[in-house]
Amino acid sequence: MAGTDHAKRGLTGVRDDGPAIILVGPQLGENIGTAARAMLNCGLADLRLVAPRDGWPSEAAYTASSGAHAVLDQTRVFERVEDAVADLQEIYATTARTRDMVKDVVTPERAARDIHAAHRRGSRCGLLFGRERTGLTNDEVALAGTLLEVPLNPGFSSLNLAQAVLLIGYAWYAARDQGGAGANTDWDHGHRRIDAGHRRARAEEIQTFFDHLERALDGAGFFKTPQLRPTMVRNLRNLFHRAQLTDQDVRTLHGVVTALTGRRMDQLG
């Protein structure tokens, strides 16, 4: 059983249905360690780092982890956020700041319920946490379908990395056994039922579609003002993220772009 296997590796109490925690550009090893501790407190162990400033592995991380070594032992490092989330289907960007993007904004409690529900229908989830000082870039936020904000005293709302991981991880852990039998309440909050035979698209599939679309738009001269291109790309990506695309949707959209540009669907093989 998975639980036994986890225990052998020093991950007692870790569950297989938790979200991945993705720390983007963490600066201090100490913060990686305290985040790992907070994860293990909440039964989470899938820690992923994107371009940690001081490299990996980090002795400071191990020292600060209060013994959560097993989480750090299996931490994976990626160069790009896109690669770190490639296998995930539902991605949340944690941010304390207002962004000029149109996305759902949810609390930790709501995200927790949604993540459990997503797991029950076979989707893998991940939570993006930004750099200590500067957070996530707009392009990184654009990879996520949903923004997660911890509602705190607006006059004093800054959290350190480990505290943010802890509050959000705890909400997930506290909600772990809710809604097993009456899973239908998930849909009451506006979730979409996915037809049998379909599944939420993976991040890498969506990225491939974005590449296709943006290449086509470049070829068609859509971006007339080069300095506006990043914003327009981001808005388009956000728009499609909000649609919670299935694998079938992505194939359809590839077909739309290909048909409109009059080219072969060579991307789909």
Of 84 and 90, which CB lies nearer to a second copy in the complex structure? 90
Of 24 and 245, which CB lies nearer to a second copy in the complex structure? 245
Determine the Cα–Cα distance for residues 267 and 269; give it in Å rounded to an integer. 6
**Smallest distance from a second copy to CB 111, Å:** 8
Report the site for a second copy in 82-101 (rule: CB under 8 A): 98-101
| Residue 105 found at the interface with a second copy (CB under 8 A) | yes
Site size with a second copy, rule: CB under 8 A: 83
Q: Which two tokens stand for residue 203?
A: 């991040």
Residue 113 CA: distances (Å) to CA of 58, 117, 133, 171, 185? 33, 6, 29, 9, 10
Of positions 22, 24, 32, 147, contacts a second copy by CB under 8 A: 147
**Smallest distance from a second copy to CB 80, Å:** 26
Residue 70 CB partners (closer than 8 Å, separation 6+):
9, 10, 11, 40, 45
Q: Which two tokens stand for residue 200?
A: 């939420």
Q: Which two tokens stand for residue 133?
A: 């000082």
Determine the Cα–Cα distance for residues 47 and 50; give it in Å rounded to an integer. 10
**Smallest distance from a second copy to CB 185, Å:** 11
The mark string for 165-204 relative to a second copy (x by CB under 8 A, - otherwise) is: -xx--x--xx------------xxxxxxxxx--x------
How many helices (H) and strands (E) in the chain? 12, 7
The mark string for 5-44 relative to a second copy (x by CB under 8 A, - otherwise) is: --x---xxxx----------------------xx-xxxx-
Of 141 and 203, which CB lies nearer to a second copy in the complex structure? 141
